[in-house]
Amino acid sequence: MEEGLLDEIRRLMEDEELYEMYEKTFRRYHYYFETTNTIVLNVYGFNDHGPVHVLLTTRRALELLKIIKSFDIKTTAETLGKPLRWSKFIVAFGALFHDIGNMIHRINHYAFSVQLAEPIIGKLVSEFEERDPLLLKALTLNAIYTHDEAVPCTTIEGSLVTIADGCDMEAGRSRLVHGKDRVDIHAVSALAIERVEIKAGDEEHPILIEIWMKHPAGIFQVDEILTKKVKSSLLSGRVKLRIHTGTDGEVMEKVI
């Protein structure tokens, strides 16, 4: 699965130099993602926050970036006079390192992620950008820090990472904690969502997130995870959800 996701990331990135840097970094720090996952799974009782999660988040963040650019929406880096490849760097490495702070503690893990990622991002930036490295480093660390819905996003790139993170809620990949030996709304909801796809919408709502679920309980998952993350982003009001509830072909739509 990791290799397949890397291939998709390469295609979406459309920048061979940046992709090579990303792949090399992913492999070099793979043990960070594995260690994070070991702690999250066995100490906190959460689900996957490891290598597959960070690759899925990267892929979806790049999908979102491609969509907003098709609607001529400027990224924060572009607003600051920087090229689009800056945004690709910010989104890719922001997504890659957003969850490593879980190694230290779940509470405020986004702040710990920044602390652990700072020297790594600093080194990557020095290889990627010579003229304005501090700004690129700051924007990338910002994307890491704001991925949690507890922290309002201040950049478009950070918003893309946040929304992408919230989309990782297909069956077995719930972002919510639920008791493994209990049958409750958390457990049922966590298994209800079958597929999540990110698509281009329209001018008013450029991002369309389509969700298929086999049980309406999946709505709880959407409201508790994805909706909160979208509302904390700068793209709130421009995202439409299309939800297939699995009951008699019913489809719900809502803007968040």
Distance CA 139, CA 141 (A): 6
**Cβ-proximal residues to 131 (8 Å cutoff; 6+ apart), any chain:** none
Distance CA 240, CA 251 (A): 13
**Cβ-proximal residues to 19 (8 Å cutoff; 6+ apart), any chain:** 9, 10, 13
Structural domain count, the chain: 1
What is the domain range of residue 110? 2-151
Domain membership of residue 110 (yes or no) is yes
Distance CA 58, CA 167 (A): 11
pTM of the model: 0.94
Distance CA 63, CA 103 (A): 28
Domain membership of residue 162 (yes or no) is no
What mean pLDDT do residues 101-122 have?
Answer: 98
Domain membership of residue 91 (yes or no) is yes
Distance CA 121, CA 167 (A): 25
Q: How many Å from the N-terminal Cα to the C-terminal Cα in the chain?
A: 31
Domain membership of residue 17 (yes or no) is yes
Q: Among 8-17, 56-65, 214-223, 231-240, whose mean pLDDT is lowest?
A: 214-223
The percentage of the chain sitting over the pLDDT mark of 70, rounded to a whole number, equals 93
